[in-house]
Chains A and B, each alone.
Chain A
Amino acid sequence: MGISEFRGPGFSEAQWDQIRSLADSLDAKQLTWLSGFFAGIEHQAKSALFGQATPVSAPASTQNRTLTVLYGSETGNSATLAGALSERLAGAGRAARVLDMAAYKTRELKDEQDLLVVTATHGEGDPPASAAGFFEFVEGRKAPKLAGLRYAVLGLGDSTYEFFCGAARRLDARLAELGAARMRERVDCDVDYDAPFADWMSAMVAELAAQDVAKRPAIVAEPRHAAANAPAFDKRNPFPATVIDNIALTGRGSSKETRHLELSLEGSGLAFRPGDALGVMPRNDPVLVERLLATLELDPEDAVTVKERWLSLRDALGEMFEITAATPRFLSHWAHVTGSDELKKLRDDNTTDSRADYLRGHHILDIVRRFPAPGVDAATFLAGLRPLQPRLYSIASSPDFAPDEAHLTVSVVRYALNNEPRDGVASSHLAARCDAGATAPVYIQANPHFRLAESDAPILMIGAGTGVAPYRAFLQEREARGVGGRSWLFFGERNFDSDFLYQTEWRDFLKSGALTRMNVAFSRDSATKTYVQHRLLEHARDVHAWLEEGAHVYVCGDGAKLAPDVHAALMTIVQKQAGRSKADAHDYLSAMQAAHRYHVDVY
Chain B
Amino acid sequence: MSSPGVDRSRDLSQPLDRLGPDERLKADSDQLRGTISDGLVAELTAAVPGDDIKLMKFHGLYQQDDRDIRDERRRQKLEPAYRFMVRVRLPGGVLSSGQWLKLDELARAYAGETLRLTTRQTFQLHGVHKKHLRAVIQGLHDVLLDTKAACGDGPRGVMSSVSPELSALHAEVYKLAKEASDHAIPKTGAYREIWYGEERTPTDGPEEPLYGKTYMPRKFKIGFVIPPINDIDVYAQDLGFIAIANGGELEGFNVAIGGGMGRTDNAPNTYPRLATVIGFVAKDKVIATCDAVMSVQRDYGDRVDRNHARFKYTIDDKGLAFIKSEIEDRLGAAFAPARPHRFTSNGDALGWRRGEDGREHLTLFVENGRVRNFEKVALLDGLRAIAQTHRAMFRVTPNQNLTIADVAPNDRAHIEDLLRAYELDRLNQGSGLRLSSMACVALPTCGLAMAESERYLPKLIEKIETILADHGLSREPITIRMTGCPNGCARPYIGEIGLTGRGPGKYNLYLGGGFHGQRLNKMALENVGEAAILDYLGGVIARYAEERGPEEHFGDFAIRAGYVPEVRDGRAFND
Chain A interface (Cβ < 8 Å from any Cβ of B) = 247-252, 260, 496-498, 500-507, 510, 518-520
Contacts and interface: CB of A to CB of B under 8 A. Distances in A.
Interface in B466-483: none
27 contacts: A247-B76, A249-B76, A251-B69, A251-B73, A251-B76, A251-B81, A252-B69, A252-B72, A260-B77, A496-B46, A497-B81, A497-B129, A498-B78, A500-B78, A501-B77, A503-B44, A503-B77, A503-B79, A504-B78, A504-B79, A505-B77, A507-B44, A507-B45, A510-B44, A518-B44, A519-B43, A520-B44
Interface in B48-71: 69
Contact of B77 (A496, A497, A502, A518): A502
Contacts of A248: 76
Contact of A507 (B46, B75, B79): B79
A245 to B, nearest CB: 10
Nearest to A245: B75
A479 to B, nearest CB: 16
A249 B72 CA distance: 10
Most A-side CB within 10 Å, residue of B44, B72, B74 = B44
Interface residues of B, number: 15
Given A496-B46, A520-B44, A503 B75 contact: no
B75 A247 contact: yes
A260 B77 CA distance: 10
A247 to B, nearest CB: 6
A367 to B, nearest CB: 39
Contacts of A505: 77
Given A251-B73, A496-B46, A506-B44, 20 more contacts: A249-B78, A250-B76, A251-B69, A251-B72, A251-B76, A251-B78, A252-B72, A497-B46, A497-B129, A498-B78, A500-B79, A503-B44, A504-B77, A504-B79, A505-B77, A507-B45, A510-B44, A519-B43, A520-B43, A520-B44
A520 B44 CA distance: 7
A504 B43 CA distance: 13
Interface in B34-48: 43-46
Max chain A Cβ within 10 angstroms of own Cβ: one of B75, B78, B79 = B78
A326 to B, nearest CB: 36
Contacts of B75: 247
A248 B74 CA distance: 11
B77 A249 contact: yes
A349 B306 CA distance: 82
A518 B74 CA distance: 21
Interface of B: 43-46, 69, 72-79, 81, 129
Q: Is the interface of B mostly helix, strand, loop or mixed?
A: loop
A519 B44 CA distance: 7
Nearest to A525: B131
A501 B78 CA distance: 7
Nearest to B81: A497
Contacts of B78: 249, 251, 498, 500, 503-504
Contacts of A507: 44-45, 79
A interface secondary structure, majority: mixed
A252 B77 CA distance: 13
B335 to A, nearest CB: 55
Contacts of B73: 251
> Which 8 pairs from chain A and chain B are nearest by CB?
A504-B77, A503-B78, A251-B78, A502-B77, A503-B79, A520-B43, A249-B76, A251-B76
A247 B72 CA distance: 10
Which of B44, B77, B81 gathers the greatest number of chain A CB atoms within 10 Å?
B77
A555 B81 CA distance: 29
A386 B81 CA distance: 46
Contacts of B43: 519-520
A252 B74 CA distance: 13
Contacts of B45: 507
A26 to B, nearest CB: 42
Contacts of B81: 251, 497
- Residue among A249, A252, A260 with the highest chain B CB neighbour number at 10 A: A252
A251 B45 CA distance: 15
A70 to B, nearest CB: 43
B64 to A, nearest CB: 15
Contacts of A260: 77
Contacts of A247: 75-76
Nearest to A491: B44
A255 to B, nearest CB: 15
A252 B76 CA distance: 10
Nearest to A505: B77
Nearest to A510: B44
B158 to A, nearest CB: 36
A310 B177 CA distance: 88
Contacts of B69: 251-252
A390 B45 CA distance: 37
Contacts of A518: 44
A261 to B, nearest CB: 13
B188 to A, nearest CB: 31
Contacts of A252: 69, 72
A248 B69 CA distance: 14
Nearest to A497: B81
Contacts of B129: 497
Contacts of B72: 251-252
A348 to B, nearest CB: 51
A165 to B, nearest CB: 41
B162 to A, nearest CB: 39
A282 to B, nearest CB: 24
A140 B346 CA distance: 90
User: Which of A260, A496, A501 has the most CB atoms of chain B within a 10 A radius of its CB?
Assistant: A496
Contacts of A510: 44
A501 B129 CA distance: 19
A520 B221 CA distance: 43
A186 B493 CA distance: 89
A55 B535 CA distance: 102
B46 to A, nearest CB: 7
Nearest to B74: A504
A209 B512 CA distance: 105
A512 to B, nearest CB: 15
B70 to A, nearest CB: 11
A244 to B, nearest CB: 14
A166 to B, nearest CB: 40
Nearest to B130: A496
Contacts of A498: 78
Contacts of A496: 46
Contacts of A506: 44
A497 B73 CA distance: 10
A502 B69 CA distance: 17
Contacts of B79: 500, 503-504, 507
Nearest to A521: B43
A129 B43 CA distance: 33
A507 B46 CA distance: 12
A561 B46 CA distance: 29
Nearest to A499: B78
B38 to A, nearest CB: 16
Nearest to B43: A520
Nearest to A535: B43
A459 B73 CA distance: 29
A101 B114 CA distance: 62
Nearest to B129: A497
Nearest to B80: A504
A252 B70 CA distance: 12
A294 to B, nearest CB: 38
A563 B129 CA distance: 32
A386 B74 CA distance: 42
A502 B79 CA distance: 9
Contacts of B46: 496-497
A260 B78 CA distance: 12
